[in-house]
Structure 1
Amino acid sequence: ADLTGKTVLDIGCNAGFYSIEMKRRGAARVLGIDFDEAYLAQARFAAEIADCEIEFQKLSVYDVGALSETFDVVLFMGVLYHLRHPLLALDLIREHVAGDLMIFQSMQRGSTDLPEMEENYHFWTHDLFDRPEFPKLHFIEHRYADDPTNWWIPNRACTEAMLRSAGFEIVLHPEQEVYFCRAAGGAASGGPVYPSKGQRHD
């Protein structure tokens, strides 16, 4: 409710709705990034009409390291499922720009149950993958909802596992597809916290 003095990065800002809302809640600096010039033009126009001083840049999520700064709040809403490389994007956010809080949303499909997962499974364990609640990232080869940019749609267990794997701690789950996360281990300046995988079969 009160973002006085905070810095905010809105990744995939689209037409600027969340950027404007963050500024209205007192954020000292808001930067919205998107790779689509049409969305950025809408965002700049909306911010001007709303009389909000917001910076907008054309930038891909894969290039957030070029910003060379961390933010108190990172918004990553409605972007993950539009990416060909979603886990890479989360890793880069954690490593380069997530100073404290990330507010995350992704479309989800499939089971909403959270399975009890072991740390390791034998190579010949097959039935595990047939369980609907097992973490799954569904690949869309062509279109979903008439949108060719919908590439990967996770179930709930997959969403939460990906966030943890990228070095985020889930602290709040206020809605089915929304998560409030903190950079695990404190500030993100130390880079991602990757779980140990041990030996792998190549």
Structure 2
Amino acid sequence: MNSKPDLKQTIQELGPWFHNLRIDGIETAPEHFLGDYPRYKWEGFRHVVPERLDGWKVLDIGCNAGFYALEMKRRGADRVVAIDSDARYLAQAEFAAGEAGLDIEFRQMTVYDVAKLGERFDLVIFMGVLYHLRHPLLALDLLYEHVADDWLLFQSMQRGPDSVAEVAENYDFEEESLFSKPDFPALYLIEHRYAGDPTNWFIPNRAGVEALLRSAGFTIAEHPEREVYLCRRGERPVMAYSPP
């Protein structure tokens, strides 16, 4: 194991970190603008994930520094695969897993590549990714089609009202008023930047999140926090597009 000075130096060299992990007592992002993130958020919904995941296969998409992948392995998951498109985040995650002595498989790939994994998982974690995508519904379709076997743990940034309108099966062409209703499903397009981040593309309201999940074929089982959903793979709507 690294000595404390060497460990602290390695953590600094791997930075900046977005996940505040504790590695042998050293925090990786103690000054995080969101606080002790993502641990404080995890505390609000950890109860919807089984305490023991023995026999489960878990896929963490957009794993960043690996906080959720580490937690799933600590809960006894047989196999944890974690993917991210950012090599720096993967280096952080591999280092954290190595220091914790946890066997996690890391791969550099995007959500659009999940079919290449060639397997399905009991739990797919898709936290904090959707709003960074130019093609958010395609991503959910790919999860449904290729990797989700049962459960989906989902989170997305939300803006707009928290109310949800009841959606009809069909609307007349002349019906325009619903597009002015704040509780109708919506995705807000960020053309340039939001919070200084050029990868923030589409930010949904709550109704938009729930409509996206349903339209991809996921049934919402739990809604433990404002932005967090535990979903089950259900039946896809008849009109749903099936990606290759």
TM-score by length of 1: 0.92
Partner of 1:116: 166
Q: 1:102 aligns with which of 133, 142, 152?
A: 152
- CA deviation map 1:102-133 (0-9, x unaligned): 00000000011011221111101111100011
Partner of 2:83: 33
Tell me, in whole angstroms, the C-alpha distance in 1 between the residues paired with 2:83 and 2:55: 20
Partner of 1:195: 238
Tell me, in whole angstroms, the C-alpha distance in 1 between the residues paired with 2:75 and 2:184: 39
Q: 1:163 aligns with which of 202, 213, 221?
A: 213
SS at match of 1:119: coil
- Does residue 74 of structure 1 match 2:124? yes
Gaps of 5+ in 1: 186-192, 198-202
- Does residue 174 of structure 1 match 2:224? yes
Tell me, in whole angstroms, the C-alpha distance in 2 between the residues paired with 1:172 and 1:24: 22
Contact map agreement 1:34 1:40 (CA 8 A) in 2 = yes
What RMSD in Å do the two structures reach over aligned CA positions? 0.9
How many angstroms does 1:194 deviate by? 3.3
- Does residue 53 of structure 1 match 2:53? no
Structure with higher RCO (Cα < 8 A, 6+ apart): 1
Tell me, in whole angstroms, the C-alpha distance in 2 between the residues paired with 1:4 and 1:145: 39
Corresponding letter in the other structure for 2:103: E
Contact map agreement 1:165 1:195 (CA 8 A) in 2 = no
Corresponding letter in the other structure for 2:158: Q
Tell me, in whole angstroms, the C-alpha distance in 1 between the residues paired with 2:197 and 2:53: 34
Count how many residue pairs are aligned between Structure 1 and Structure 2.
Answer: 190
Corresponding letter in the other structure for 2:228: V
Tell me, in whole angstroms, the C-alpha distance in 2 between the residues paired with 1:55 and 1:77: 18
How many angstroms does 1:196 deviate by? 3.1
Corresponding letter in the other structure for 1:160: E
Tell me, in whole angstroms, the C-alpha distance in 1 between the residues paired with 2:99 and 2:125: 22
SS at match of 1:2: coil
Corresponding letter in the other structure for 1:30: V
Tell me, in whole angstroms, the C-alpha distance in 2 between the residues paired with 1:41 and 1:84: 25
How many angstroms does 1:157 deviate by? 0.4
Tell me, in whole angstroms, the C-alpha distance in 1 between the residues paired with 2:239 and 2:117: 29
Residue 112 and residue 195 in structure 1: after superposition, are their counterparts in 2 closer, same or farther (change >3 A)?
farther
Gaps of 5+ in 2: 1-50
TM-score by length of 2: 0.77
